[in-house]
RNA sequence: GGUCGGUUGGCCGAGUGGCUAGGCACCGGUCUGCAAAACCGGGUACAGCGGUUCGACUCCGCUACCGACCUCCA
């Protein structure tokens, strides 16, 4: 595979050339959502970021297997305070639903939102509840190695034992002694040898609904376990890429590494890739902080922080205009700027269709533009820089359309192919939708009105021509007078 | 408190030891009946203080402020 894709590996804290274990195959696992409420802007970001990686790897010619899980059990809310209520179970009680109805409802919403954002489906989307056996098998491997212990029907990972021969903290940079001092004093700790030990299996309390039989107790798997079990099952031991939000580095991914390394006697993942957070007023947007905006709210504009509705493609473009390892701060101003920029880009690309080649190219270096686009992508998926090059292309297109510059036939073909590849295949943007359904009729009606307006203009009857323009504007139709006649868009 | 990261023009957001990122907004111009769109041009941005250097926004140190993680989180 001949390419120069470098990707930042959290494990080494540096950009590394991407070289999969078994080219042309590449495996990628990304932590998916816990489905107990509606997806928000943060979900849009992770999934857009890894959608870009997925698309780009495929574009480079890899046969990618992309696995993204659905967490449909597990996470305890206030676990350590002894209340021990499963988030999904809690929601089920609140909404008077069966837990699996809650799961289905929010999983459907997640899938719909992802499709709206033009995020490609993963190749495998495993669910934690469908892999209880695999998780139990993994626990057995750890028990056999003496790196886990049973306590009161629950099973815990023995972190200090593991740390004596491995490095617990290899990913997050944490030092066990410091964790010892900084881990909060929590209830229910008496079951554990050490406060930083984490659960592999939890014995279910009397009121707990979602539970499964096991050699240790009727209970349920620990959160960290599902990702280890499912990623290795579908991608191998070890595999290439593991992704997720930066907030998962500790403890989730650190624990995954510990479990899997203990079971395998080698590191489970070669490239750990993490995207940064979306902030709002400088603070992380998170469900747990209650300062999040759901995707449906963005689409509808129905949220007190939103001045207007935003199209999914605006959100996608907004996300891609920042590098994935930087935070992005949400604001209406930033979103509106993204919306306009996205429109400009799409209109430029649309103009390519009607552009005519002629003579020698001037003011544009298509090959240079192309290689710079690839350089940007290869440099740790630098989409903002790549997009800046697309805008250079747009400026050239506009100049050519204005008759200020020329483009040769071959260059025009190359430019078309380049912009379509970059904008649609790799960035996954979508063309603006043409008026749906009655396109033909609407279009013809507008054309007819524009013809009347032209006639009025020719007669210098600007009263009439302006009235037509204003009326159409009120209907959301924009009129553009150019050298080659009048165009319109919705 | 510990670990890590950030501070770029009106806003968002890249990046580099010396070469115009880009988008949005704003101002001026071209075009237009007028607008819009498009194009051209414009504003001396790199938190502060020291140091290294021929030269630093970019490297080093200190200070200030902000954030993430250390509990579930994308």
Give the residue carrying structure tokens 């997806």: A39
Nucleic strand B under 7 Å from the C-beta of A306: no
| Chain B bases near protein CB atoms (7 A cut-off) | 1-5, 11-15, 21-25, 32-40, 66-74
* CB < 8 Å & 24+ apart, contacts of A54-60: A54/A28, A54/A120, A54/A122, A55/A120, A55/A425, A55/A426, A55/A428, A56/A5, A56/A377, A56/A381, A56/A426, A57/A5, A57/A18, A57/A26, A57/A28, A59/A421, A59/A425, A59/A426, A60/A1, A60/A3, A60/A5
Nucleic strand B under 7 Å from the C-beta of A347: yes
The CA–C1' separation of A428 and B6, in angstroms, is 29
Specify the pLDDT at position A76.
60
* CB within 8 Å of A311: residues ≥ 6 apart: A299, A339
Low-confidence residues in chain A, pLDDT < 70? 1-2, 74-84, 182-189, 433-439
The CA–C1' separation of A327 and B55, in angstroms, is 32
Residue A142: name the closest of A261, A263, A230, A264 by CA.
Answer: A263
User: A376 near A418, Cβ under 8 Å?
Assistant: no
The CA–C1' separation of A100 and B36, in angstroms, is 53
Nucleotide nearest to A351 (CA to C1'): B38
Specify the pLDDT at position A267.
94
Nucleic strand B under 7 Å from the C-beta of A79: yes
Q: Give the 3-state secondary structure of residue A319.
A: helix
Nucleic strand B under 7 Å from the C-beta of A13: yes
Nucleic strand B under 7 Å from the C-beta of A55: no
**Stated length of chain A:** 490
Specify the pLDDT at position A205.
84
* CB within 8 Å of A45: residues ≥ 6 apart: A245, A275, A277, A278, A319, A324, A328
Specify the pLDDT at position A80.
43
pLDDT tens for each residue of A281-318: 888 998 888 889 999 999 999 999 999 999 999 999 99
User: A52 near A428, Cβ under 8 Å?
Assistant: yes
What is the rounded distance in angstroms from the CA atom of residue A264 to the CA atom of residue A262? 6
> Strand A278-280 vs strand A328-330: parallel, antiparallel, or unpaired?
parallel
414-433 of chain A touching strand B, CB 7 A cut-off: none
Nucleotide nearest to A344 (CA to C1'): B23
Nucleic strand B under 7 Å from the C-beta of A61: no
Nucleotide nearest to A196 (CA to C1'): B70
Nucleotide nearest to A175 (CA to C1'): B3
Nucleic strand B under 7 Å from the C-beta of A161: no
Give the residue carrying structure tokens 């922080």: A305
The CA–C1' separation of A139 and B45, in angstroms, is 55
The CA–C1' separation of A340 and B8, in angstroms, is 23
The CA–C1' separation of A239 and B67, in angstroms, is 32
* CB within 8 Å of A273: residues ≥ 6 apart: A7, A8, A9, A10, A50, A53, A241, A242, A243
Nucleic strand B under 7 Å from the C-beta of A340: yes
The CA–C1' separation of A32 and B68, in angstroms, is 20
Nucleic strand B under 7 Å from the C-beta of A469: yes
Nucleic strand B under 7 Å from the C-beta of A252: yes
The CA–C1' separation of A455 and B16, in angstroms, is 55
Nucleic strand B under 7 Å from the C-beta of A456: no
Alpha-helix runs per DSSP H in A37-129 = 41-59, 87-95, 99-116
Specify the pLDDT at position A202.
92
């Amino acid at each position: 595979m001949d390419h120069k894709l470098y990707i930042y590996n959290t494990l080494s804290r540096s950009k590394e050339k991407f070289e999969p274990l078994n080219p042309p195959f590449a495996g990628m696992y990304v932590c998916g959502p816990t489905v107990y409420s509606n997806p928000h802007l943060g979900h849009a970001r992770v999934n857009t970021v890894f959608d870009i990686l997925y698309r780009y790897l495929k574009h480079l010619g890899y046969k990618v297997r992309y696995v993204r899980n659905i967490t449909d059990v597990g996470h305890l809310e206030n676990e350590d305070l002894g209340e021990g209520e499963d988030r999904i179970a809690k929601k089920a009680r609140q909404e008077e639903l069966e837990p699996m109805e809650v799961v289905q409802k929010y999983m459907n919403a997640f899938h719909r939102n992802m499709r709206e954002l033009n995020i490609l489906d993963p190749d495998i989307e495993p669910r934690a509840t469908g892999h209880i056996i695999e998780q139990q098998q993994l626990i057995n491997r750890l028990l056999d190695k003496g790196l886990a212990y049973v306590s009161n029907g629950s099973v815990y990972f023995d972190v200090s034992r593991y740390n004596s021969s491995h490095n617990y903290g290899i990913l997050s940079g944490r030092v066990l002694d410091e964790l010892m001092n900084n881990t909060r004093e929590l209830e229910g700790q008496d079951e554990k040898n050490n406060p930083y030990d984490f659960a592999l299996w939890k014995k279910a309390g009397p009121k707990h609904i979602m539970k499964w039989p096991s050699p240790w107790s009727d209970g349920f798997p620990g959160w960290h376990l599902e990702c280890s079990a499912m990623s290795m099952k579908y991608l191998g031991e070890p595999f290439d890429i593991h992704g997720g939000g930066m907030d998962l580095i500790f403890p989730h991914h650190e624990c995954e590494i510990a479990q899997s390394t203990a079971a395998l006697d080698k590191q489970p993942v070669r490239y750990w890739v993490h995207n940064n957070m979306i902030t709002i007023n400088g603070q992380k947007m998170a469900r747990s902080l209650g300062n999040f905006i759901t995707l449906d709210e963005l689409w509808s504009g129905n949220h007190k922080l939103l001045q207007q509705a935003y199209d999914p493609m605006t959100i996608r473009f907004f996300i891609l205009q920042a590098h994935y390892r930087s935070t992005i701060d949400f604001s209406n101003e930033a979103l509106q700027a993204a919306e306009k920029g996205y429109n400009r880009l799409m209109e430029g690309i649309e103009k390519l269709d009607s552009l005519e080649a002629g003579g020698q190219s001037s003011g544009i270096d298509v090959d240079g533009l192309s290689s710079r686009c690839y350089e940007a992508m290869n440099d740790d998926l630098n989409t903002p820089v790549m997009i800046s090059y697309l805008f250079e292309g747009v400026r050239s297109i506009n100049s050519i359309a204005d008759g200020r510059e020329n483009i040769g036939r071959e260059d025009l073909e190359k430019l078309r192919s380049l912009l379509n590849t970059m904008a649609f295949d790799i960035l996954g943007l979508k063309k603006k939708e043409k008026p749906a359904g009655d396109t033909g009729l609407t279009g013809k009606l507008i054309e007819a009105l524009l013809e009347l307006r032209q006639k009025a203009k020719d007669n210098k009857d600007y009263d009439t021509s302006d009235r037509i323009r204003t009326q159409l504007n009120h209907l959301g139709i924009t009129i553009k007078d150019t050298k080659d006649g009048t165009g319109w868009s919705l």
